[in-house]
Each structure stands twice: as structure tokens, then as C-alpha cells.
């Protein structure tokens, strides 16, 4: 009898290893999810429900975009510590999380969408979320 299989991204969420499917997908694409010691990089891969999943490392930012933006801050030698910043097109808040981790005093996160920004950022007193704004 064949074992029941589930998409890898869904299994991560079911087991509480990722908060959302999009975060699970980011972990998978980053090569942070291992099954039997081997990295698996396809979110839609069907894996046995009883597979032993391991996370190599959690994402330090609210989205993968945070890595690019952190690199840009480094490349241009920008230090947001103590500053007030504007994240236009904030989406899930990748840049917002980078700015906060680097000491920004306040970040205005503006996006045309609604309910997209990471819940932890939404709860942070240093973040002012402005949604449904183009």
C-alpha cells in the first residue's frame, strides 16, 4: 500500500515549521529544507506525510527580498540606524524587516495590497502600516 503524500510546502505549514505556504516556499527555494540530509528545492514536490523534515536555517527577514535589500545597504554603505524610513511597495515586509534589524527608529510600510505584511511586523510599534495606497 502506497504512503499518502503531501506537497512539501503544505507539510511544512501543517507541522508548524513555517507560518504560511509562501514562507514555506521561501525556505524551500533557499535550500533550507532537508529530507534525509538532502536539500529539496521544489515546493510542489510530493513527499510522504511521515518524512523527517529538517530546517537548515530560518529566514532572517520577512521575505527573500530582504536578502537583496540587505546586500544593497551593504554595497552602498547605508546605515539606517536611528533613521525614519519609507518602504514603498512593502508587500510582506522584507525591506521593512531589514531596516528594523539594522536599527531604523520607524518604518512607514506602504502597499497597495491589504493584509499582506508579515504579522510580526504589523505588531511592531516601530512600523506604521499604510495599506490600500497606490
Measured between alpha carbons, how far is 116 from 107 in angstroms, rounded to an integer? 16
Measured between alpha carbons, how far is 120 from 95 in angstroms, rounded to an integer? 14
Taking Cα atoms as reference points, which of 57, 98, 93 lies closest to residue 74? 98
Phi-psi region of 7 (alpha: psi -120 to 50; beta: other; left: phi over 0): beta
> What CATH class is the domain 5-55?
alpha beta
> In the chain, which segments carry CATH 3.10.290.10?
5-55
Measured between alpha carbons, how far is 5 from 109 in angstroms, rounded to an integer? 39
pTM over 0.75: no
How confident is the model at residue 67, as a pLDDT? Answer: 85
How confident is the model at residue 68, as a pLDDT? Answer: 87
> What CATH class is the domain 65-130?
alpha beta
pLDDT, tens digit (0-9, with 9 covering 90-100), for 38-86: 999 999 999 999 999 998 866 678 777 888 889 999 999 999 999 999 9
Which residue carries 510580526 as its cell?
A: 120
> In the chain, which segments carry CATH 3.40.50.150?
65-130
Exposed, middle or buried: residue 126 (CB in 10 Å: 0-12, 13-18, 19+)?
middle
Amino acid at each position: 500500500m502506497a504512503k499518502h503524500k503531501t506537497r512539501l510546502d503544505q507539510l511544512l505549514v501543517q507541522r508548524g515549521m513555517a507560518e504560511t505556504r509562501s514562507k514555506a516556499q521561501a525556505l524551500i527555494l533557499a535550500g533550507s529544507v532537508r529530507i534525509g540530509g538532502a536539500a529539496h528545492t521544489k515546493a510542489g514536490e510530493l513527499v510522504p506525510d511521515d518524512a523527517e523534515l529538517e530546517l537548515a536555517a530560518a529566514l532572517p527577514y520577512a521575505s527573500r527580498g530582504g536578502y537583496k535589500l540587505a546586500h544593497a545597504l551593504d554595497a552602498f554603505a547605508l546605515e539606517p540606524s536611528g533613521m525614519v524610513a519609507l518602504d514603498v511597495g512593502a508587500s510582506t515586509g522584507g525591506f521593512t524587516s531589514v531596516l528594523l534589524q539594522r536599527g531604523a527608529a520607524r518604518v512607514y510600510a506602504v502597499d497597495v495590497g491589504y493584509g499582506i505584511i508579515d504579522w510580526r511586523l504589523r505588531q511592531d510599534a516601530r512600523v506604521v502600516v499604510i495599506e490600500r495606497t497606490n
